[in-house]
């Protein structure tokens, strides 16, 4: 009888341990899935501009297969927020910068039950905004971030700045040295559109947007 109790005790411990291990494994898999998007769309949109006013990128992540597309037709505005990126970028060296962006997506973006969130006042007073779309299977979440990130909470500010940095890295093509003029809003046919908003000079090129502080000699890139 004592022998049978001993065997039963060992079996209970074994099944309990196995169950806990299985739960931990499933939990880890769930967390990995929760924190990994199937695709992202990101870019900068400006309602008051001429030229490329809403260049967007779409990065598809299906297992180890990755593809990158860009839209320079302003489909963001034309389709009322539905971005269509049809031009594929075959240079896989661009993927590294976007992989870093994916790693910096705030945890709250994955866990929020809301399908849309706004941080600050994107594109208010012609100030432009950052658009970020997160897709996980059939779930789509959209985030609108004020381009002037200095007054945002830390997570939104840091991520907004990282998006802008990533776009800059994606568009290092043609070097051009430029001395910003007076702080007024204007447009010019120089690799796209130039506009000044507040204390930032914003360049809209065929491949993206750039923001720099006024009255500083800087190096700009266009694609």
List the one residue out of 208, 210, 211, 221 whose CA is nearest residue 89: 208
Based on the domain organization, do 43 and 12 belong to the same domain? no
* H or E element at residue 142: strand 139-146
What is the CB neighbour count within 10 angstroms for residue 150? 10
Cα 119 from Cα 73, distance rounded (Å):
25
Based on the domain organization, do 25 and 126 belong to the same domain? no
Any idea how long the chain is?
Answer: 223
Based on the domain organization, do 1 and 43 belong to the same domain? no
Q: Tell me, what's the pLDDT at 37?
A: 95
Q: Tell me, what's the pLDDT at 9?
A: 55
Based on the domain organization, do 91 and 156 belong to the same domain? yes
Residue 184 placed within a domain: no
For the chain, where are the alpha helices, taking DSSP H only?
2-34, 75-78, 95-103, 107-111, 154-170
Based on the domain organization, do 25 and 88 belong to the same domain? no
Based on the domain organization, do 10 and 114 belong to the same domain? no
Based on the domain organization, do 20 and 51 belong to the same domain? no
Based on the domain organization, do 138 and 46 belong to the same domain? yes
CA 91 to chain CA mean position, Å: 19
Q: Tell me, what's the pLDDT at 103?
A: 95
Based on the domain organization, do 54 and 117 belong to the same domain? yes
Q: Tell me, what's the pLDDT at 213?
A: 42
Residue 218 placed within a domain: no
Q: Characterize the bridge pairing of strands 116-119 and 139-146.
A: parallel
Based on the domain organization, do 99 and 55 belong to the same domain? yes
Domain that holds residue 30: 1-34
Q: How many domains does the chain have?
A: 2
Q: Tens place of pLDDT for every residue, the chain, 223 residues?
A: 566 555 655 555 554 555 554 454 444 444 445 678 999 999 999 987 877 789 999 999 988 899 999 998 999 999 988 999 999 998 888 899 999 999 999 999 999 999 999 999 999 987 899 999 999 989 999 999 999 999 999 999 999 999 999 998 887 742 333 333 333 333 333 444 444 444 455 554 444 444 444 433 333 433 3
Based on the domain organization, do 4 and 87 belong to the same domain? no
């Amino acid at each position: 009888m004592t022998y049978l109790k001993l065997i039963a005790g060992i079996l209970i411990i074994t099944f309990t341990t196995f169950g806990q291990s299985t739960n931990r494994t499933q939990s880890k898999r769930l967390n990995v899935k929760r924190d990994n998007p199937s695709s992202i769309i990101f870019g900068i949109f400006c309602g008051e501009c001429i030229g490329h006013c809403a260049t967007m990128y779409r990065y598809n992540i299906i297992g180890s297969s990755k593809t990158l597309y860009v839209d320079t037709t302003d489909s963001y505005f034309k389709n009322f927020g539905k971005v269509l990126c049809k031009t594929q970028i075959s240079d896989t060296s661009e993927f590294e910068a976007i992989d870093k962006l994916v790693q910096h997506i705030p945890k709250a973006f994955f866990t929020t039950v809301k399908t849309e969130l706004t941080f600050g006042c994107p594109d208010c007073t012609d100030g432009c905004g950052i658009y970020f779309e997160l897709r996980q299977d059939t779930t789509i979440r959209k985030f609108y971030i004020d381009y002037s990130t200095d007054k945002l909470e830390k997570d939104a500010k840091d991520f907004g700045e990282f998006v802008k940095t990533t776009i800059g890295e994606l568009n290092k093509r043609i070097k051009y040295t430029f001395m910003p003029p007076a702080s007024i809003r204007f447009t010019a046919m120089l690799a796209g559109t130039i506009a000044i908003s507040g204390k930032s000079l914003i360049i809209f090129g065929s491949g993206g947007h750039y923001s720099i502080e006024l009255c500083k000699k800087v190096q700009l890139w266009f694609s």
